[in-house]
Homo-oligomer: A and B are copies of this chain.
């Protein structure tokens, strides 16, 4: 997040300068890491696939026993006001809902809703042209369908990822891969089936749109994906709101396909960009 004094944020029921957006230390995010969030893109001043992100935000809140203080329409209004105030036509908006100010440092209080708008950090052209190397790590997120703020494992692994010369970490359990800390995972099989894990993953909005785009041209499958499947795959890629589609060319010591970004991957990236533009 930049220290841009002109940016505004929503907190404690009002839009205010980002620089003055503070939470008291008794908030349950600080005390107990308790909260959920969601994040969507703004392009040409318009939220992209907003309905999907809002639906997931409320669902995460429900799964974590938190009440969102604003109904959908009121939340949309705040988002529109923030977009108008900040003048960031291409940006990301993050909504965080914490466990609120706790009386005893454990039991949730009234949830605090924070909405932040920030510039987008996109993958470099080199990352798309060359693809990325990733490592794997044995872990399953606690409540996979909820987008909680718990990134204890992902952030703790940042050093290990760097030391391996990799760009990200793919979680796996007993050889079955699931997701990245912030992205979903796909493979393309030798016979052009586009496959993504079906269990223990966050239901990414970009994942959904890529499946939709892929289904126009290819067979798609949501099913278990193993390290063995990756070794035999033609292509692999990750998806996320900011990264869209990023080719994965190496997983641990496994070189995927011919070790270069694949044709299906790059075609789906084009299709996804077109889909974003149409909505």
Find A114's partner among B30, B114, B159 (CB 8 Å cutoff).
B30
Q: Which residues A20-49 have CB closer than 8 A to chain B?
A: 21-35, 37
Most B Cβ at <10 Å: residue of A30, A34, A149: A30
Given A22-B24, A25-B96, A108 and B155 touching (CB < 8 A)? Answer: yes
- Provide the bound-state CA to CA distance between A107 and B35, in Å: 18
Find A31's partner among B102, B149, B158 (CB 8 Å cutoff).
B149
Find A30's partner among B29, B63, B142 (CB 8 Å cutoff).
B29
- Provide the bound-state CA to CA distance between A26 and B29, in Å: 12
Asked whether B30 lies within 8 Å of A99 as measured between CB atoms, the reply is: no
Residues of B within 8 A of A27 (CB): 30
For the complex formed, measure the closest distance between the CB of A16 and the CB atoms of chain B, giving whole angstroms: 11
Residues of B within 8 A of A117 (CB): none
Q: A158: nearest residue on chain B (CB-CB)?
A: B107
- Residue A104 at the chain B interface, CB threshold 8 Å: yes
Asked whether A9 lies within 8 Å of B25 as measured between CB atoms, the reply is: yes
Q: Which residues A95-115 have CB closer than 8 A to chain B?
A: 96, 98-99, 102-108, 114
Per assembly, the copies of the chain total 2
Residues of B within 8 A of A99 (CB): 155
Q: A102: nearest residue on chain B (CB-CB)?
A: B1
For the complex formed, measure the closest distance between the CB of A106 and the CB atoms of chain B, giving whole angstroms: 7
Residues of B within 8 A of A174 (CB): none
- Residue A118 at the chain B interface, CB threshold 8 Å: yes
- Provide the bound-state CA to CA distance between A96 and B33, in Å: 11
Find A25's partner among B114, B151, B152 (CB 8 Å cutoff).
B114
Residues of B within 8 A of A274 (CB): none
Residues of B within 8 A of A148 (CB): 33, 152
- Residue A156 at the chain B interface, CB threshold 8 Å: yes
For the complex formed, measure the closest distance between the CB of A224 and the CB atoms of chain B, giving whole angstroms: 21
Asked whether A152 lies within 8 Å of B34 as measured between CB atoms, the reply is: yes
- Residue A65 at the chain B interface, CB threshold 8 Å: yes
Residues of B within 8 A of A26 (CB): 1
Q: Which residues A150-202 have CB closer than 8 A to chain B?
A: 150-153, 155-156, 158-159, 182
Asked whether A1 lies within 8 Å of B104 as measured between CB atoms, the reply is: yes
Q: A96: nearest residue on chain B (CB-CB)?
A: B30
Q: Which residues A120-137 have CB closer than 8 A to chain B?
A: 121
- 14 new A-B contacts, CB < 8 A, other than A25-B116, A29-B29, are A25-B114, A30-B96, A30-B149, A31-B149, A33-B34, A33-B148, A34-B151, A104-B121, A106-B151, A106-B155, A142-B152, A142-B153, A143-B152, A148-B152
The 3 closest A-B pairs by CB, nearest first: A33-B33, A22-B22, A32-B151
